[in-house]
Amino acid sequence: MGFFDRIGNLWKGFISLWVSDMETRNPEAVYESAIEERIKKHRELKKAVSGIVYLRNKLSTELESKERELKEVNVQIPIAIEEGEDEAALVLIQKKDELTGQIDHLRMELEKVAGQAEDAKQGLIAFQGEIAKLKREKESMLAKKANAEARISIQSSLDGLSTDADIKALDNVREHIGKLQAEADVGSEVENDSLDAKLARIKAKAGDASSRSQLAEYKKQMAARKAASQAQAAGAAPKKTM
């Protein structure tokens, strides 16, 4: 390999790497280019398919015309024979044979072209489906790219944070919350040990004792009234005679 060939290969390598780098940096542009290229080919394929369909339709129309003409000739031949027009009958018979051969040929051609047209249409539909699939792939891959970039960005941010600083910050927050809780507990304990709190408890106990004493008195009075009522009822009851 000569010097200039090696230089040429090296330059091609640089170009290839540069293009590859540009493609990875611009995936959306790569997808758009691929989609546009397929759409262009789809238009070309559609034009080719339309040519085959046109030929099929043309053969079909010609076949129908020949079949109608043959039908008319078949009707005319018996009439010519009945009227003694042998020459006309011979011409009609020859025409019938020609039409029969043409119809057989047109049918074979039409069958072949119709098959080609159907295959071409199916290919066109499949190609259109490939374009739609590529569009969906583009959306999916770009979404994956955005998600991956976001995750990498978050990971990079987390990697940049100091673990010791995080732990220290958490310890400071925990200590602050603990002090607030202790301050609230101290206030509650002081309030419970105050003179007012003690007097309130004594008053509550005294009120409870007074209530219990009144309840006992009520029960005693009710029991006395019940006993008196029962004694009175027993004295007023008549005595049985022996």
Greater pLDDT, 96 or 38: 96
* Whether domain 3-160 has CATH 1.20.120: no
Please state the pTM of the whole predicted model: 0.45
CA angle 128, 129, 133 (to 5 degrees): 120
Band (pLDDT 50/70/90 cuts) for residue 1 is low
- For the chain, which residues make up each domain, given as ranges? 3-160, 170-226
Cα–Cα dist 128/122, whole Å: 10
pLDDT of residue 223: 86
pLDDT tens digit sequence for 8-26: 554 455 444 444 555 466 7
Nearest to 95, CA basis, from 123, 75, 112, 111: 75
**8 A C-beta contact, residue 24 and residue 88:** no
Q: Amino acid identity, residue 214?
A: Q
Q: What is the mean pLDDT of the chain?
A: 78
The sign of the torsion formed by the CA atoms of 136, 140, 141, 142 equals: positive
Cα–Cα dist 238/85, whole Å: 156
Greater pLDDT, 20 or 70: 70
